[in-house]
């Protein structure tokens, strides 16, 4: 009887100590959103969702032309959206731009590695470059926030 009591007490102590472990799991923020609108020209709405299988953030942006004329969305090495700290190859042999008709929207997705997704850094931003007629290239930047 004494052995059974000692065994039960030992088991309770082991379970208690195991539950008081020092390791804590940090919950990863899995969703971020952002929005920017250039008055009567362009609107960008973005969402970043953690992709567990690939260990990246899938960033999907919807770009909408608010003007009554075509806008050119400028590619950054093959992507319509870019971000602070993006590593670019020396040569980007892709298309220069994509036309977006008046009132039209386009949706695009890029993957950002976890170590590059520095959303808590005030300097980290997403960018879209565009050109209206012959007025030169403009750049819109915005930040993502946890949701």
Given a cut of 60, is residue 34 above it in pLDDT? Answer: yes
Answer yes or no: pTM beyond 0.85. Answer: no
> Per the structure, how many domains does the chain have?
1
Asked if residue 65 belongs to a domain, the reply is yes
Asked if residue 16 belongs to a domain, the reply is no
- Please write the tens of the pLDDT for every residue from 61-83: 999 999 999 999 999 988 999 99
Identify the pLDDT of residue 94: 66
Given a cut of 50, is residue 22 above it in pLDDT? Answer: no
Identify the pLDDT of residue 56: 94
Structural domain boundaries enclosing 58: 31-146
Task: Please tell me what DSSP assigns to residue 143.
Answer: -
Asked if residue 106 belongs to a domain, the reply is yes
Asked if residue 25 belongs to a domain, the reply is no
Asked if residue 24 belongs to a domain, the reply is no
CB burial of 61-95 (b: ≥16 within 10 Å; e: otherwise) equals: bebbbebeeebbbbbbeebbbbbeeeeeeeeeeee
Given a cut of 50, is residue 18 above it in pLDDT? Answer: no
Cα separation, 13 vs 10, in Å, equals 5
**Mean pLDDT rounded to a whole number for the chain:** 82
Read out DSSP for 65-103? E-SSS-EEEEPBTTBS-EETT----S---S-SEEEE-TT
Given a cut of 80, is residue 143 above it in pLDDT? Answer: yes
Cα separation, 93 vs 70, in Å, equals 24
Asked if residue 26 belongs to a domain, the reply is no
CATH of the domain at 134: 2.60.40.1230
- Please write the tens of the pLDDT for every residue from 89-136: 788 866 789 999 999 999 999 999 988 988 777 778 999 999 998 788
Asked if residue 119 belongs to a domain, the reply is yes
Asked if residue 109 belongs to a domain, the reply is yes
Tokens describing residue 131: 């050109």
Given a cut of 70, is residue 49 above it in pLDDT? Answer: yes
* CA-closest candidate to residue 62, choices 83, 76, 44, 75: 44
């Amino acid at each position: 009887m004494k052995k059974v009591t000692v065994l039960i007490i030992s088991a309770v102590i082991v379970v208690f100590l195991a539950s008081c472990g020092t390791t804590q799991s940090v919950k990863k923020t899995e969703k971020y959103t952002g929005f920017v609108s250039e008055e009567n020209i362009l609107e960008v709405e973005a969402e970043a969702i953690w992709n567990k299988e690939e260990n990246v953030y899938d960033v999907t942006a919807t770009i909408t032309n608010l003007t009554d004329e075509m806008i050119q969305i400028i590619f950054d090495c093959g992507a319509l959206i870019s971000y602070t700290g993006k590593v670019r190859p020396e040569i980007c042999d892709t298309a220069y731009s994509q036309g977006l008709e008046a009132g039209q929207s386009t949706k695009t997705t890029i993957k950002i590695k976890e170590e590059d997704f520095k959303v808590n850094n005030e300097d980290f931003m997403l960018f879209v470059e565009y050109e209206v007629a012959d007025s030169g290239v403009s750049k819109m930047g915005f930040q993502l926030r946890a949701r």
